[in-house]
Structure 1
Amino acid sequence: MHQQILLLLGLLLAFPNVQAFETIQINPRVYALVGDLGQRSPQNLGHNMTSGFIVGNEAVAVIDSGASRAGAERIHAAIRKVSDKPIRWVVNTGGQDHRWLGNAYFREQGATVIASAAAAADMHERAAEQMVQAEQLIGDGFAGTEPAYPDQTFDQRFSIALKGIEAEVIFTGGGHTPGDSIVWLPEEKIAFTGDIVYVQRLLGVRDNGAAAWIASL
């Protein structure tokens, strides 16, 4: 597990100046979308993080839907270059804007959106604030974005029904935000850590607190 986490962190370091994101193949079924390390902008459509997607035998699971409708469309276009299978699941690894404000677009594609109960509560609490801030940063690229909350929530663990590859979403207490979760692929020993792991940035310790963040690791 540690080797694969270090690989994903290394990808972050390898692409410090991209304007949108780079699609990086981790293995034949797992891809990372490595975003800009700078602020959200019209160029990156708010994708200043690492997200990704998992290709199952019959469908695809998206890890984080982006910060805007246009950002979600860009993620979908990247997926289409790899697979034409339907998007069945979207996992929001946390309640920050760039993890979930693209949900509405993927729901229109037939996806079911899942997140921890704590992340869903965080979304409801901060949606209005996040919408205003994201629009200011992304500009015209934010047009058409509407908040869409998770269809299913969980307290500790959720297994994604994705044939051909085992994937589990695990909530261990949050990190940067109260609902941050990890997507763990046990057979591949790959983890998408969301906002629980930072590189080349000062940690943004919010209301969840440093002690809870450390405990979640």
Structure 2
Amino acid sequence: MALLGLAHGSAAGQSLMGMQKLADEVYAYTRYDGGEDMPTVSSLVVITSEGVVVGDGLGRVGDVAESDAMARKLIAEIRVLTDQPISYLINCSWHPDHTNGNHVFRDAGAVIVGHRKTRAGLLEFYRTNPDIVQAPPEVTFDDRMTLFLGGEEISIRFLGRAHTDGDAVVYLPGRRLAYMSEIFFNKQFPGLRSGYPAEWIQTLDRALELDADVFVPAHGLIENGGRLRSTMVQMRADLVDMRADRSMATSIKA
């Protein structure tokens, strides 16, 4: 599997941390998350004349205080760029490294949006993790919904199950840009304990049909300004190989 990438500590890796401009008023914010398997986690920031839309907040698994600090840091970085209010936070995954800071965005005035199953996944997570401040999506959708804010069309789409059962893509058709969240890991192999490998391949196929040049991962460095179609194609091939290896192992055992 071809999954070797830039080390987060390298000069090239460090240069891709923090706020990175992808297009006019469109940014990705990337920070090192401290783990070996998913060393970076990224959020999308879209600034319009009527407000800011964030794709995935930040959080730290098992660390409430650090999750709050990470979310506040992201908001502070947005404030360096604009005084516009944060209007929407889109939960593209229910996983805690993307949602544990939800309440910080809610308290800042953001409406939280997510797939219906992302809300359900978060509510179940809260049930077993009572120390987390609850702030699930207030607005949900099944297939897609569209925000029109400050002249920007922001399409939020469910293309199929992948890392979770409610993964969403934030697609900016006018920018030819798609924030893939946990559907796309750049040069890293995702954990599959809660994933759906067979459907994940189909979901990637649907994403590759989008009229987009820029594909932004939630994990892995955002190299080449997000022009990572070939890397996403490679991830798809790796998932196919993994499924073939599993099928062969099952056949041998049988």
**Normalised by the shorter chain, which TM-score bucket?**
0.7 to 0.9
**Residues 158, 169 of structure 2: 8 Å contact kept:** yes
The root-mean-square deviation of aligned C-alpha atoms, in Å, is 2.4
How far did 1:21 drift? 4.3
Q: Helix, strand or coil: the match of 1:75? A: helix
The TM-score, its normalising length taken from structure 1, stands at 0.78
**Residues 120, 153 of structure 1: 8 Å contact kept:** yes
**Residues 56, 164 of structure 1: 8 Å contact kept:** yes
Say whether residues 1:193 and 2:180 are aligned partners: yes
| Equivalent-residue separation in structure 1 for 2:74 and 2:200 (angstroms) | 28
**Residues 16, 37 of structure 1: 8 Å contact kept:** no
Identity, % of aligned positions: 28
| Equivalent-residue separation in structure 1 for 2:163 and 2:144 (angstroms) | 19
| Equivalent-residue separation in structure 1 for 2:114 and 2:101 (angstroms) | 14
Aligned counterpart for 2:19 among listed residues 11, 16, 23: 23
Amino acid across the alignment from 1:62: V
Say whether residues 1:161 and 2:148 are aligned partners: yes
Aligned 1:85-96 pairs, distance under 5 A: 85-96=84-95
Q: Which residue of 2 aligns with 1:73?
A: 72
Which one has the largest radius of gyration? 2
Amino acid across the alignment from 1:97: P
How far did 1:99 drift? 1.5
Structure 1 130/193 Cα, relative in aligned 2: closer, same or farther at 3 Å?
Answer: farther
Amino acid across the alignment from 1:81: V
Runs of 5+ unmatched residues, structure 2: 60-66, 205-254
The TM-score, its normalising length taken from structure 2, stands at 0.67
Q: Which residue of 2 aligns with 1:127?
A: 126
**Residues 113, 151 of structure 1: 8 Å contact kept:** yes
| Equivalent-residue separation in structure 2 for 1:131 and 1:99 (angstroms) | 17
How far did 1:47 drift? 8.6
Amino acid across the alignment from 1:91: I
Say whether residues 1:33 and 2:20 are aligned partners: no
Aligned counterpart for 2:171 among listed residues 178, 184, 209: 184
